[in-house]
């Protein structure tokens, strides 16, 4: 089954406020995800002044800060970016499960869309390919998802 590509020009983010929480761990990859997300937000018309950027140590720290930001009521959506690369131990599984469940729980508890831009790859090459400077950048996709969900939520509540 193919996926539907969404063009940033199809979404108008003006009037929204978006928080971006990006992990610093694995900086070559994390910075690529962040670049893709910020570019997509800009392409959707979101001014820099309406983007709140926060960096956390690693992916495991994303849920707490994302939840705290959502609870302030200042963000219409939160873009969560990070990378977890499989190693030789079960640490990968614990981190991936914790981040995934934590972000889902935070989204449901706060009712603020949180886009999952966390790469879970077997190696660095896979991660770098998904954080490349192109239209397949997963940070870009997370930003598109966050804005689309914020707009859908507004439509439901405001008609």
| Alpha-carbon gap, residue 93 to 96, rounded angstroms | 5
Three-class DSSP labels, 15-43? CCCEEEEEECCCHHHHHHHHHHHHHHHHH
Q: Which of 91, 136, 157, 158 is catalytic?
A: 91
Decide if 85 contacts 127 (C-beta within 8 A). yes
H or E segment and range at residue 150:
helix 138-158
Decide if 80 contacts 91 (C-beta within 8 A). no
> Quick check: is 91 catalytic?
yes
**Active site residue ranges:** 91
């Amino acid at each position: 089954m193919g996926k539907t590509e969404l063009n940033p020009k199809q979404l108008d983010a003006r009037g929204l406020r978006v928080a971006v929480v990006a992990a610093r761990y694995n900086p070559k990859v994390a910075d690529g995800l962040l670049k893709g997300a910020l570019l997509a937000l800009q392409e959707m018309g979101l001014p820099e002044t309406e983007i709140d950027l926060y960096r956390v140590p690693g992916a495991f720290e994303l849920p707490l800060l994302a939840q705290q930001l959502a609870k302030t009521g200042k963000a219409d959506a939160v873009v969560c970016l990070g990378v977890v690369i499989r190693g030789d131990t079960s640490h990968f599984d614990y981190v991936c499960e914790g981040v995934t469940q934590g972000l889902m729980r935070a989204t449901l508890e706060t009712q603020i869309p949180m886009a999952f831009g966390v790469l879970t790859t077997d190696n660095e090459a896979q991660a770098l390919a998904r954080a490349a400077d192109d239209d397949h950048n997963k940070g870009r996709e997370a930003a598109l998802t966050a804005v689309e969900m914020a707009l859908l939520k507004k439509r439901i509540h405001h008609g």
